Structure 1
Amino acid sequence: MKPYILMLPMSWYVYLHLFTLALMWFGPNRTVAVALGNQTDHLALLQFKQLISSDPYGILNKWNSSTHFCNWNGIICSPKHQRVTKLKLSGYKLHGSISPYIGNLSRLRFLNLENNNFNGNIPQELGRLSRLRYFLLSNNSLVGEFPLNLTNCSELKSVDLEGNKLFGKIPSQFGSLQKLHIFYIGTNNLSGKIPPSIRNLSSLNIFSIGYNNLVGNIPREICFLKQLKFIAVHANKLSGTFLSCLYNMSSLTGISVAANSFSGSLPPNMFNTLPNLYFYGIGGNQFSGPIPTSIANAYTLIRFDIGGNHFVGQVPCLGKLQKLWSLSLQDNKLGDNSSKDLEFLKSLANCSQLYSLSVTNNNFGGSLPNLIGNLSPGLSELYIGGNQIYGKIPIELGNLTSLILLTMEDNRLEGTIPKTFRMFQKIQYLGLGGNRLSGDIPAFIGNLSQLFVLRMEENLLEGNIPLSIGECQKLQFLNLSLNNLRGAIPLEIFRIYSLTKGLDLSQNSLSGSLPDEVGLLKNIGTIDVSENHLSGGIPGTIGDCINLEYLHLQGNLFLGTIPFTLASLKGLQYLDMSRNQLSGSIPTSLQNIVFLEYFNVSFNMLEGEVPMKGVFQNASRLAMIGNNKLCGGVLELHLPPCPIKVIKPTKHLKLKLVAVIISVIFIIILIFILTIYWVRKRNMKLSSDTPTTDQLVKVSYQELHQGTDGFSDGNLIGSGSFCSVYKGILVSQDKSVAIKVLNLKKKGADKSFIAECNALKNVRHRNLAKILTCCSGTDYKGQEFKALVFDYMKNGSLEQWLHPWNVNSEHPRTLDLVHRLNITIDIASALHYLHHECEQVVLHCDIKPSNVLLDDDMVAHVSDFGIARLVSVIEDTSHQETSTIGIKGTVGYAPPEYGMGSEVSTSGDMYSFGMLMLEMITGRRPTDEMFEDGQNLHMFVESSFQDNLIQILDPHLVSIEDGHNENLIPAKEKCLVSLLRIGLACSMESPKERMSIIDVTRELNIIRTVFVDGETN
C-alpha cells in the first residue's frame, strides 16, 4: 500500500515530498523512498504530540528533533527500514485527543494507548493502517461510534476498546476482520444488536462485549466460529431463549452471559459436549429447569455460577469436579425442603480446590451433615443463609479453619454456638442472625481478632454480652439485636474504635446507663440501643460521634434533658428518643442540623417552645405527641401558642451586668497580651533550636487548618508511629492533598520530619510520592506544628487492596495479576531510582504495602521516608547521614541483619521488596499467624510454589479472568512462577545472595513484555 501524506500545508515543502513520493514508486532509488517514509513518520509523531494537552510524567519530553524518533519513549522501529512499527504509551495519564496523523504511520503494527485520558472520537484515518495487528485503546474517555474505517485494517488480530464512552451500534462491516482473534468492547454505551456478520470472523477466539446496552438475542451465526473459546456478553439487555447450538461448540472454554434476560432450560447432556469448559456464568437471568446431571462429568470446570435464576430440583453429585474453585447456586428454587436436599455437600468434599460456595436463598431443608467439615481445607467463603435448614450446627464445621466469610442467617438452626468456632482465626464476616440459637454468646468470640462483621441478631441468645468482645479491634459492624441479652453494655464495646458501620443492641433486656464512653466511637454511622431498660441521662459525649447518621434511643428509661451537644452531629439524619422520661425543652440548636430528616420525641415529659427551622419546619418529619407542655412550632403540629414572658431588669441587675462585662473585657485583654509574649518567646527558641528543613516552599498553618475543617476526624485517613494523615484542600493550588501532621510529642518525630524532607527535597520520579509543600511553625495554641503536604492518592494504599476490609461488598476491591505486575514494576522503578540515579543514594528502610500509594490510574507511588537514610559516596567510601531514629523498618519486612545491629543498606531494601512481592502473590502478610516455629513467608513459598502453586496463591489470582493471550492459563502460571522466583531471590537471608534492583527491573520488564504485551513481531 502506498504511504499517505495527510493534511500537510500546501507549500514548497509539500511539493518537494510529493516529488520524492513519485520517485519512490516510479524511480529506481529506493533510498529516497525510505527517507520519505522516515520523514512522514517523524511529522506524524510530532503532530500526535501537538494534541496532547497534559503529559504529567514528561514521557514525551524527548520527542524533539535532537533525537531520532526511533529512540523516543514509546516508539519501536523496524531495524531495517527505521519505520515506526509500534507505538506504546500505555498508562501515562496523557490527556488530549488522538491525532488523525497516526494514519500516516503506514508500517504501524502495534498501537497501545490504553489507560490514559484520551477523549474525542477515534479518527477514521486510522483505517488507513493496513498493517495494523493490535489496536488497544481501553480505559480512556473516547466517544463517538465504532470507527467504521477500522474495518479496512484487514490484518487486525486484537481490538480492545473496553472502558470508554463509545455509543451507537456495532457495524455489520466488522465481519470483514477475518484475521481477528480477540475483540474487547465491553464497558461502553453501545446499543442495538450483535450483527450476524460475526459469522465471518472465522479466527475469533475471544468475544467480550459485557456492560453495554445491547438488545436482542445472540445471533445464531456465532455458532459457526469453530475457533471461539470465550464469549462474554454479560450485563446487557439481551433476551430470548439461549442458543442451544452454543452447547455443541467443543472449543468453548468460557461462557459469561450473566445479568441479561435469557430464558430456557439447560440441555441434559451439555457438559458432555463442552469438554474444555472452565467458566460458566449465567447468573441473573431467567433460566429454569433442573441442573443437568451431565455436570458430574465437567472435569475442567473451575467456576460455575447460576445464581439469580429459577432452577429447581436437586443438585447433582459434583464430586468429580476436582478443579472446581467457585460454586454459586444462590437465589434459585433448588431443593424441596427435604432431608435429601443437602446430600450434594458430601460429594463436594472431593473438590479440594473449592474456595467459595454459595447456596443462599433456596428451598434447601434438612440438617447440615457432619461431613460439611470435610469440605476443602482452603474453603474461604461459605454462604448457606435463607433456607429451611434446621437442627444444630455441626461441631465439625469448625474444621474449616480457612473460612473468611460464613453466613448462616435466616434458617431454623438451634442449640448453642459450637465451641469449635474458636478455630476460625481468619474469619472476617460471621452471620448467624435469624435462627433459633440459644445459650450465651461464647467468650471465645474475642479470639476472632480478624472479625469485621458480627451478626447474631434475631435469635434466643441470653446472658451478658461478653467483655472479651472488646478484643475484636477490627470490628466494623456489630448486631446483637432481638435476643434476650441482659446486664450492662460493656464499656469494652465503646473502645472498639474500628466500629464505623454500626452498633445494634436493640430489643434486648439490657440495663444500666449509656456510658460516657459512647463518645469514643467517633466514626460510627449508626447506634441503636432502642427497646431495652437503659436508664440515666443521655450522655453529652454522644456529640463526639461526629459521623453519626442514625441514632435510636427509643423505648428505654432515659431521664434528664436532651443534650445540646447533639447539634454537633452535622451529618445526623434520623433521631428517635421517643418513649422515655426526658424532660426540659428541645434545644434550639438542633434546628441547625442540615441533614436531619426525622425527629421523634413522642411520649416524654418535654416542655417549652418547639423550634421552627430545619427539620422543625416540616410536620411530616416530626413526632411529638405525648408531651403536653410543648408549645409553639409550625401550625401543622397543632400545639398551643407559648405564653409571652416579659422580664424587666432591676437597677441592681444592671450594675451586676456592667461589672461582669468589664471584668470579662479585662481578662480577655490580659490573656491576649500574655499569649503574644509567650508565642514570640517560643518562636525565638524554635528558630534557634530546630534544624533546617532545607528550602522547601512553606504553607501556613491557617491554610492547612482551613483545608481540613480544623483537622477534623472526618478528614482523618490514616495514622502512624509519628504522625496522622488528613485529606484536605490546598486552596493556594486548588487541589486535594494528603497532609501528614507530625505528633511532636513522640520521641523522634521531629527527626522523622527532617529525614523525610531531606530525602524528598531533590528526588523526582513518577513512582515516588511527591512532596508539594511543608509547614513548620506554630498552631493557634502557640504549640510547635510540623506537617508535610503530598498529592492525595484516591485509591489509597496497596495494603488496602491486598487485604480489603469490605468482605461483604458486591464488588470488593481486588487486584488482578496485570495490576500486581504493573505495581511491582512501579515499586522496582522507584527503588532503582533511589539506589542508582540520585546524587546521594537514598535508602528507604521501610518498604511495605502500607507505604505504597495508588493514584487514580493505579500507578504506584512509594511513600513515607520518615526513617530514610541518605548515603554519600566519596572515593569508594561511603558514609550515612542518618536520622538517628532507632527504628530500622517494620517487623516481617525488615531484613534479619538489622535485628543484629547491622547498618542499613541497599540489600536491606531489596529484602523488604522481596517480602512485599511474595505478599502480593500469596495474599499473606509476613507476620501471618500461620508462620510459627521459625517459619516465614519466604520458606512457605520456597517449599510449595513449584509443586503446589495454586495452594499458595492469593485466591483473587485464581479467579477466571479475561486476557489477551489465547493460552491464558499457562501464560499466567509462567508469569506467577517468574514473579515468585524474583521475590525469593530478593528475600534471601544472606544480603550477598540477594538480587540487585538492576537485575530485578530488567527481569520484571521482560515478564511484562511476554505476559501483558505479548509477542507482536
Structure 2
Amino acid sequence: MKLPQFFFYQYDLRIVDLSNILVGMFPIWLLKNNTRLEVLTMRKCCLIGPFLLPSYPNPYVSSIDISNNHLEGPIPTNIGMIFPNLLNLNMSRNLFEGYIPTSLGDKHSLEILDLSTNNFSGHIPEHLPTSLGFLKLSNNILYGEISLSFVNLTSLVYLYLDNNPFVGKFPNNMSFPRHLMAIGISNNHMSGKLSRWMGNMSFFLELTCSQIIRKGLFQLSYANFILSLVTLDVSDNNLSGIIPSWIGTLSELSILLLKLNNFESEIPIQLCQLKQLSMLDLSKNKFSGLIPHCFIDIPFETTHTKSSVKASNASVYTVYTMWSFVKGNILDYMSRVNLSCNHLTGEIPIEVGKLSNIHALNLCHSNLTGSIPTTFSHLRQIESLDLSYNNLNGRILSIDRIRQIGSLHCGTQQLISYEGNSLLCGLPLNTNCIATVPTSTMLKVLDGEVEYDGFVDMGVFYVTFLVSYIILLMGIIAVLFINPHWRQAWSLKFVCKTTGRVISMLELHLFSLKPKVGTLFF
C-alpha cells in the first residue's frame, strides 16, 4: 500500500499514523506542511535514506515513532532544538550510525528514548534528560565506561544497555533511582560487582544479566535480590552448585531463566512456592533426580504485562505501558516449562499433565523412563511438546490435541517431539504397536529367574499344532485305508514310532528356541 496522494495537500494534520504503508524516502514535507503536527508514527514503512528535519522548530511535536525501517546515516545534531517539547522518540531497528546527539540531553520533557538495534557508536552522552523514564540503547556499538550520569536520572524506570561492547568496571558508587523496575546489561565486557547498589531498589521488576556473571559482575546471593522481582534472567553463565533455597521467597517472580549454566543436584521443591511463575527455563544444566510432583502447585498462567503496578506518578505508568508495547514479542507472553538437556531420571509425574495452562513443554534429552502419562490429555493449551531422546516406552497417547501439535522449536515434523525413544510406538512415529514387544510384559522376574513372556502366545501355538497334527494323521490313515498296497507297506507301529519321534524333535526344538528368543530382548 502506497501513500495516498491527498496527504500532499494537507496542512493542518495533528496526528498521523502511516504504519505499514510503503513510503520510500522520509517525507520531510509532512513536517514542513503541518506546522501544528503533534504525533507522527511511521513504523514498518520501508523508509530509506537519511532522516531529514525542517529548518525551523516545531514546538507541538510530542511523539515520533519511526521504528522498524531502513533509515540510515546520523541523527541530525539539532534534533533537540527542532522538537523542544518531545516526549517520546522511538528510532529503534534502523540503520542509524554515528554518535547520539548531545542536544537530546537538553530535553527536559523527554520520557521515552529508544535507539536500540542500530549502529550507534561512541560513548553514552554525559548529560541525559532527567525526565527519562524509559531508556533503551541495546544492540549498538556503544563503548567506553558507563558514566555516573545515570545517577541524575531520578525518573528512570527501565534501562536497557545490553549487547554493547562496554568496558571497564561497573562503578561501585553507582546509585540508581529507587523505583527502577528493570535493567538489562547482558553481553558486555564490563567487570566489577552489582550487589552494592542492587539492594537499594524498592520495587525491582526485571533483571537481565545473562552472559556477564562469568566476568565476576554478579553473584547469586540472597542479599542481591528484592522480593518484588518479577523477571530474573541469568542465563548462559558459569553459575554452579545448587539453586539456593531462598528462591522460593521471591513471591512475585513470574519469569525465571537459568538455562546454560552448571547447576546440579535435584530441582529444588522451593520453586513450587512461586505461585506467580509462568515461565521456567532450567535447560542445559546438570540437574538430576526426579521432576518434582509439586509443580502442580504452580498455576503457570500466561504472562501479561504487570500493568497493575502502582506507580508514583502518571508519567511512570505511561512509560511502563509503552514498554509493554515496544517489547511486544508474543513468545514473551506464553507460559512454558523447559527442563531439557539435563540428567533427570524416573517417570514423568502425572501432575505434569495437569498443568493445563502451559503452552510449551520441553523434557527432551534426559533419562526419563516409563510411559507418557494419560493426564497429558489435560494439556489443552499446549502448542509445543518435546519428549524426544529419553527412555520412554509404550503407546503414544491417542489424544487429538497432542497429535495436532504443529511445528516445534527444533523442527517442523510432528515426530520430532517423540523421536529418540526406541520403545515408543504409535502415531506419529512409524513404529507399529502390534509388532512391538510391550516392555511391561516382555520380562517377568520370578524367584530370581527370568521367564520369557514374549509376543508369541505359546498356548495358542500348542493348540494349533495339535489340531494340525490330528488332521495330518487322519489324512494318512484315510489314504492307507483306501489303498491296500500302501497299507501293507506302512504298519501302525511305524506310524506311531514316527509320530513319537516328531513330537520329541518338536519339544527339543521349542525348548532350545526359548532362551534364544528371550535373549533378543535383553
TM superposition score normalised by structure 2? 0.67
Distance between the aligned counterparts of 1:574 and 1:526, measured in 2? 9
Instruction: Find the counterpart in structure 1 of residue 281 from structure 2.
Output: 504
Q: Give the 3-state SS of the residue equivalent to 1:460 in structure 2.
A: coil
Distance between the aligned counterparts of 2:20 and 2:27, measured in 1? 16
The alpha carbon displacement at 1:314 in A equals 0.5
Instruction: Find the counterpart in structure 1 of residue 395 from structure 2.
Output: 586
Instruction: Find the counterpart in structure 1 of residue 300 from structure 2.
Output: 523
Instruction: Give the unaligned 5+ runs of structure 2.
Output: 302-334, 438-454, 461-522
- 1:321 corresponds to 2:107: yes
Q: Give the 3-state SS of the residue equivalent to 1:261 in structure 2.
A: coil
Distance between the aligned counterparts of 2:105 and 2:245, measured in 1? 44
Instruction: Find the counterpart in structure 2 of residue 294 from structure 1.
Output: 78
Amino acid at match of 1:343: I
Aligned length: 403
Instruction: Find the counterpart in structure 1 of residue 66 from structure 2.
Output: 282
Distance between the aligned counterparts of 2:145 and 2:38, measured in 1? 35
Partner residue of 1:332 out of 103, 118, 122: 118
The alpha carbon displacement at 1:503 in A equals 0.5
Indicate if the aligned counterparts of 1:491 and 1:515 stay in contact, CA closer than 8 A: yes
- 1:429 corresponds to 2:206: yes
Distance between the aligned counterparts of 2:92 and 2:135, measured in 1? 11
| Structure whose CA Rg is larger | 2
Amino acid at match of 1:571: Q
- 1:455 corresponds to 2:236: no
- Structure-to-structure mapping, 1:767-778, within 5 angstroms: none
Distance between the aligned counterparts of 1:316 and 1:192, measured in 2? 30
Instruction: Find the counterpart in structure 2 of residue 239 from structure 1.
Output: 23
Q: Give the 3-state SS of the residue equivalent to 1:280 in structure 2.
A: strand
Indicate if the aligned counterparts of 2:407 and 2:414 stay in contact, CA closer than 8 A: no
Instruction: Find the counterpart in structure 1 of residue 42 from structure 2.
Output: 258
- Structure-to-structure mapping, 1:729-768, within 5 angstroms: none
The alpha carbon displacement at 1:383 in A equals 2.0
Indicate if the aligned counterparts of 2:213 and 2:219 stay in contact, CA closer than 8 A: no
**Identical residues among aligned pairs (%):** 25
Indicate if the aligned counterparts of 1:445 and 1:469 stay in contact, CA closer than 8 A: no
The alpha carbon displacement at 1:495 in A equals 1.8
Indicate if the aligned counterparts of 1:477 and 1:499 stay in contact, CA closer than 8 A: yes
- 1:545 corresponds to 2:331: no
Partner residue of 1:555 out of 360, 365, 368: 365
The alpha carbon displacement at 1:519 in A equals 1.8
Indicate if the aligned counterparts of 1:632 and 1:642 stay in contact, CA closer than 8 A: no
Instruction: Find the counterpart in structure 1 of residue 127 from structure 2.
Output: 347
The alpha carbon displacement at 1:254 in A equals 2.5
The alpha carbon displacement at 1:347 in A equals 0.8
Instruction: Find the counterpart in structure 1 of residue 4 from structure 2.
Output: 193
Amino acid at match of 2:18: H
- Structure-to-structure mapping, 1:534-683, within 5 angstroms: 534-582=344-392, 584-586=393-395, 588=397, 593=402, 595-597=404-406, 620-621=415-416, 623-625=418-420, 627=422, 636-637=430-431, 641-642=435-436, 646=457
Change (3 A) 1:237 1:578: closer
The alpha carbon displacement at 1:343 in A equals 3.4
Amino acid at match of 1:553: L
- 1:217-256 CA-partner distances (Å, limit 9, x unpaired): x52x44xx4xx47351331414133344555569435250
Indicate if the aligned counterparts of 2:387 and 2:418 stay in contact, CA closer than 8 A: no
Indicate if the aligned counterparts of 1:360 and 1:383 stay in contact, CA closer than 8 A: yes
Instruction: Give the unaligned 5+ runs of structure 1.
Output: 1-189, 196-217, 336-340, 601-614, 650-1017
Distance between the aligned counterparts of 2:263 and 2:192, measured in 1? 16
- 1:131-161 CA-partner distances (Å, limit 9, x unpaired): xxxxxxxxxxxxxxxxxxxxxxxxxxxxxxx
Change (3 A) 1:274 1:516: same
The alpha carbon displacement at 1:597 in A equals 4.3
The alpha carbon displacement at 1:275 in A equals 4.9
Distance between the aligned counterparts of 2:407 and 2:13, measured in 1? 55
The alpha carbon displacement at 1:564 in A equals 3.5
- 1:389 corresponds to 2:171: no
The alpha carbon displacement at 1:353 in A equals 1.4
Distance between the aligned counterparts of 1:290 and 1:512, measured in 2? 55
Indicate if the aligned counterparts of 1:391 and 1:413 stay in contact, CA closer than 8 A: yes
TM superposition score normalised by structure 1? 0.36
Instruction: Find the counterpart in structure 2 of residue 441 from structure 1.
Output: 220
Indicate if the aligned counterparts of 1:619 and 1:636 stay in contact, CA closer than 8 A: no
Change (3 A) 1:235 1:388: same
Indicate if the aligned counterparts of 1:247 and 1:273 stay in contact, CA closer than 8 A: no
Q: Could you say what the CA RMSD is over the residues aligned between the two structures, in angstroms?
A: 3.6
Distance between the aligned counterparts of 1:589 and 1:495, measured in 2? 33
- 1:455-508 CA-partner distances (Å, limit 9, x unpaired): 2211222333222222222222211101122333221211212112x2001111
Amino acid at match of 2:354: D
Amino acid at match of 1:347: H
Instruction: Find the counterpart in structure 2 of residue 494 from structure 1.
Output: 272
Amino acid at match of 1:290: P
Change (3 A) 1:245 1:518: closer
Distance between the aligned counterparts of 1:248 and 1:360, measured in 2? 32
Q: Give the 3-state SS of the residue equivalent to 2:23 in structure 1.
A: strand
- 1:726-776 CA-partner distances (Å, limit 9, x unpaired): xxxxxxxxxxxxxxxxxxxxxxxxxxxxxxxxxxxxxxxxxxxxxxxxxxx
Instruction: Find the counterpart in structure 1 of residue 343 from structure 2.
Output: 533
Instruction: Find the counterpart in structure 1 of residue 262 from structure 2.
Output: 484
Distance between the aligned counterparts of 1:415 and 1:570, measured in 2? 46
The alpha carbon displacement at 1:562 in A equals 4.0
Instruction: Find the counterpart in structure 2 of residue 306 from structure 1.
Output: 91
Change (3 A) 1:442 1:646: same
Change (3 A) 1:240 1:637: same
Indicate if the aligned counterparts of 1:494 and 1:518 stay in contact, CA closer than 8 A: yes
Change (3 A) 1:630 1:506: closer
